[in-house]
Structure 1
């Protein structure tokens, strides 16, 4: 075991409504960082293990090299520690706003604290095999931007993102939960308050579309019911309900106090605590057959992104630039593609716009990292299944896409190597 090496003073934390909150970027994060909150985080870790039958992760971990694993918003670090213990040859890194991780940790694990994962990263683009994010709802202001950042840091063709959330909207299929129940009202208040500060706790049901828009492929979604208590007859669901009930009853104060007192300006004793007690009674009532949905999403980086820069005056000399840092557009050395000259020349003549001195063609490899293996994927609003490239023309003067074409892909152009 090694020391975590962190030295963030606990004195930076502050007391509010009887709970301690972190002082780093004070007020940005709505939830506490004290001992009861650490217990809640570890309870939810156990809940997810029970729900997934002791599976720590859904995405595959490569064994042919030393994998790099990044845990965003690691909390107590319990998932990071378990992963470091399971994969001894892996490099595991956990990020969080506050130092609530244990002092002794596995030697292949590091924590960087305080770190806000919505701020710019300096973690090495195109280098992570798995980026894990769990229970980020309520702390993320822009999911599209975060997904794009994750996409840029995953290993092209091999890197996976795993995103786990609880959709906290109460659900009931048999009418035992009334629409005017304290639980329903509590969720509506919480969803509205967190949305007002641009960090919605409500799970975005369009998450799959957001992942696709960011460029991910092979999206796997698993939804598991989380009953509020042990009311189901199914043994597995009953066990999930026991742990979820513990997490909910122990965590209601943490979830509720700051949003309703800071945003709504409600009095803690007069309004907030009575509401919390009514909700606590309802989530423990086995006659109410309500539940939440757990969403487990895993998807993969599709491979490298290339750009072809063509001078319309000399269209017979296109140059291909591999762009691995897709968010910044920083190219590596150009690669000439003589075999692409005929289709590109015809296309350039057809698409030439007099206002431009140069046109940029951007395209993605439709592959699993190797040219010889292709998979169906989405590109913009179109879906294609072809052993080739999807090309979009973009005018560099105004940045507008002009048109798209397909070009057959010959792996001999790159010697059949990995992208």
Structure 2
């Protein structure tokens, strides 16, 4: 279902001082300016992990007649990056339930869960999807939509990370009480909400199951903070700290206060404890970021 611009612009609700898309609580995370900043920081992390590349799908020479889609555009960081890095630029379409880039020529306000409304002539050479956790409930439907709306031989690229942290020192677990409580409650709440957050490691198999070929996955160990011996990873880790500072409240508020029934005061108290634990630089925390690509078979129907 494609949404009217004015309807999409006004279709918001407000809770705990944050703005969310939709009057029915369809999404667990806010879509306000702070949320866009947090999503932009994730895109910056990917920029450094991929040495400035916008995608790794083997599209040898981007041409202006190529058609690219960014699914769930939010901050628009990826789309802006493609426009800046490729000359001539491909024809770009952004799809999102909320208007974030009104000056983008092809911007579709669309229910992310329903059938996509593009025609066969609009089929894409590349579809990019980033940070899908908490965004959609039906991943089989997403992959079916993506497969249907790629040109034969076109590529799907999915970037994601879970809301989980790891440490190689088992003794440090005694210093992560609030963080582990938060992670477990986030998993519980998101599952109850119907849009799970820890889904990054599942995407490779889902892409295979949808009929994609040449499926490949890259997994990055991303440090939280500047503890790596690698200067680039130190820069990445610094951005990861900033991202969590921007995103932690937004990740948590609706899932805890609406879905789990916590008070705002109890939620804030836990977040303060989590933030204090995350400031312990000697913990050497890290997360896994997953990048999965797959190709629609060249012999498949256009749509």
Q: TM-score, normalised by structure 1?
A: 0.66
Counterpart for residue 16 of structure 1: 15
Counterpart for residue 201 of structure 1: 197
The aligned runs of 1:212-231 (5 Å cut-off) are 212-231=208-227
Of 102, 127, 149, which residue of structure 2 is paired with 1:153?
Answer: 149
Counterpart for residue 99 of structure 1: 99
The aligned runs of 1:124-163 (5 Å cut-off) are 124-125=119-120, 127-156=123-152, 158-163=153-158
The aligned runs of 1:20-169 (5 Å cut-off) are 20-23=19-22, 26-61=24-59, 63=61, 66-85=65-84, 86-101=86-101, 103-105=102-104, 109-113=105-109, 115-125=110-120, 127-156=123-152, 158-169=153-164
Deviates more, 1:141-150 or 1:6-15: 6-15
Distance in 2, matches of 1:170 and 1:111, equals 35
Counterpart for residue 295 of structure 2: 300
Of 179, 183, 208, which residue of structure 2 is paired with 1:183?
Answer: 179
Q: What SS class does the counterpart of residue 273 from structure 2 fall into?
A: helix
Of 285, 288, 305, which residue of structure 1 is paired with 2:280?
Answer: 285
Using a 3 Å threshold, how does the CA distance of structure 1 residues 234 and 175 change in structure 2: closer, same or farther? Answer: farther
1:69–1:128 contact (8 Å) kept in structure 2: yes
Distance in 1, matches of 2:50 and 2:60, equals 20
Distance in 1, matches of 2:34 and 2:171, equals 31
Using a 3 Å threshold, how does the CA distance of structure 1 residues 133 and 266 change in structure 2: closer, same or farther? Answer: same
Using a 3 Å threshold, how does the CA distance of structure 1 residues 266 and 298 change in structure 2: closer, same or farther? Answer: same
Counterpart for residue 244 of structure 1: 240
Shift of 1:227: 1.7
Deviations 1:181-202 (A, max 9, x none): 2112111110111111221001
RMSD: 2.1
Structure 2: give runs of 5+ residues left out of the alignment.
none
1:227–1:241 contact (8 Å) kept in structure 2: yes
Distance in 1, matches of 2:150 and 2:81, equals 21
Shift of 1:16: 0.5
Deviations 1:110-132 (A, max 9, x none): 2112x122211111248210011
Distance in 2, matches of 1:11 and 1:300, equals 37
The aligned runs of 1:256-335 (5 Å cut-off) are 256-269=252-265, 271-305=266-300, 323-325=301-303
1:160–1:300 contact (8 Å) kept in structure 2: yes
Counterpart for residue 168 of structure 2: 173
Distance in 2, matches of 1:125 and 1:284, equals 51
2:68–2:91 contact (8 Å) kept in structure 1: yes
Aligned residues: 296
Distance in 2, matches of 1:8 and 1:100, equals 14
Deviations 1:21-79 (A, max 9, x none): 123x5300111122211221222221211222211111133548611101100012221
1:71–1:132 contact (8 Å) kept in structure 2: yes
Q: What SS class does the counterpart of residue 170 from structure 1 fall into?
A: coil
Shift of 1:81: 2.3
Deviations 1:99-148 (A, max 9, x none): 122x444xxx42112x1222111112482100110001111111122112
Q: What SS class does the counterpart of residue 205 from structure 2 fall into?
A: helix
Using a 3 Å threshold, how does the CA distance of structure 1 residues 283 and 91 change in structure 2: closer, same or farther? Answer: same
Shift of 1:7: 4.3
Q: What SS class does the counterpart of residue 37 from structure 2 fall into?
A: helix
Q: Which one has a larger percent helix, Structure 1 or Structure 2?
A: 2
